[in-house]
Amino acid sequence: MLLSKEIAVELNLTGCKLKQFLAAKLRQMDVPLTPEQFMLIDLLWNHGEMSQQQLADQMQKDKNSVTKLVDAIERKGFVVRQQNLNDRRSNTLVLTEKANQLKPGAKQKGISILDQILEGIDEEELRAFLTTLRKLNNNMTISENQD
């Protein structure tokens, strides 16, 4: 198999396995979020209020996918939508008290899950891997912009 094809297959399989692993661990640890919901709420914990478009950009997802995620975590009581006073077509997402109460325990559990995934890989390997992932992402971004 060509190395490039083997890498693409491995990236896809690893991405799928990562989502499954994270979902299972979050359930085991009683964190009531899917991995993507966790990522969205974590962005809000880290950056404060954001529009759905800003979240879509940060998560590299289309706006419709983010809308579905927001609908789900809004039903769970973790965020509320507030209409943007400057642009009535836009909503700002605000964390609820329920989300703020979840933060300390959920963040710590998330870190422990990631530590488990990265166990046995030294910092130099992780930095090289991160550099490679960023190059891959950049190459795809450049290619998208040229099309």
Q: What are phi and psi of 120, to 5 degrees?
A: 85, 0
pLDDT tens per residue across span 100-130: 999 999 999 999 999 999 999 999 999 999 9
Q: Which domains does the chain have, with CATH numbers?
A: 3-118 (1.10.10.10)
Confidence (pLDDT) at 144 = 74
Confidence (pLDDT) at 143 = 73
Whose CA is closest to 94, among 70, 59, 67?
70
Confidence (pLDDT) at 146 = 79
Confidence (pLDDT) at 147 = 67
Q: How far apart are CA 120 and CA 124, in angstroms?
A: 12
Q: How far apart are CA 103 and CA 45, in angstroms?
A: 8
Report whether 52 contacts 66 (CB < 8 A): yes
Task: Look up the pTM and report it.
Answer: 0.86
Report whether 70 contacts 93 (CB < 8 A): yes
Mean pLDDT of all residues in the chain? 92
pLDDT tens per residue across span 62-82: 989 999 999 999 999 999 999
